[in-house]
Structure 1
């Protein structure tokens, strides 16, 4: 399983990084390490929403449930996220990113994480 991280690189631009999430196999399926979010909410974006350049308000995992979104980071790279895909936004500073809803309305689960959340540590390990 993977997620795509959006972050501010050393050159000051927002960038993408693909991260593999280690899973722990149990009888009923494979599990990631537990998340301890500050809060979670669902969001329904209006069809054809274009959200101009902006930053994440805090570290946030966005799980697309329905619809699709195109995201452009400031280094020029563009990616599309559809149902079941996870975008982890931690570009809370810098130029940010631009989002365009493609197949709306888009339903997403927003998982807001604490400032000290380390996605690399979380992805490499797990709780049994």
Structure 2
């Protein structure tokens, strides 16, 4: 399974990495192991938002339920995350990123990571 990892690079700009998470095939489909989550946040009735450069408010998995999130890094690269896709927002410092949420009225799920979570250890 692929997660887009958005994090702060050594130069202070946000960068993207396609993080392939280890998964095994079972009777019910491909499945990862248990990933650590400190809690979840559900957001509903979200307005359409265009946010200028900002940092992630916390280390979190961003999972659109019926929405699309477009994020832009400092170098101008853009990623779109739709239903069934996952973004790991981990750029707590530096320049940050731009975000665009569509459509109005959408629902999102945020999985808050514990401080000691190491996404690099999730690699396949």
TM-score when normalising by structure 1: 0.87
Structure 1 residue matching 2:65: 3-state secondary structure: strand
1:10 aligns with 2:10: yes
Counterparts of 1:29-44 in structure 2 under 5 Å?
Answer: 29-44=29-44
1:45 Cα deviation from its structure 2 partner: 5.5
Q: Using the alignment, how far apart are the partners of 2:94 and 2:51 within structure 1?
A: 16
1:49 Cα deviation from its structure 2 partner: 1.1
CA-based RMSD: 1.5
Q: Which ranges in structure 2 are unaligned for 5 or more consecutive residues? A: none
TM-score when normalising by structure 2: 0.90
The runs of 4+ residues in structure 1 deviating greater than 6 Å are none
Q: Which structure dedicates a bigger proportion of its chain to strand?
A: 2
Q: Using the alignment, how far apart are the partners of 1:117 and 1:75 within structure 2?
A: 27
Q: Using the alignment, how far apart are the partners of 2:30 and 2:41 within structure 1?
A: 24
Q: How many residues align?
A: 124
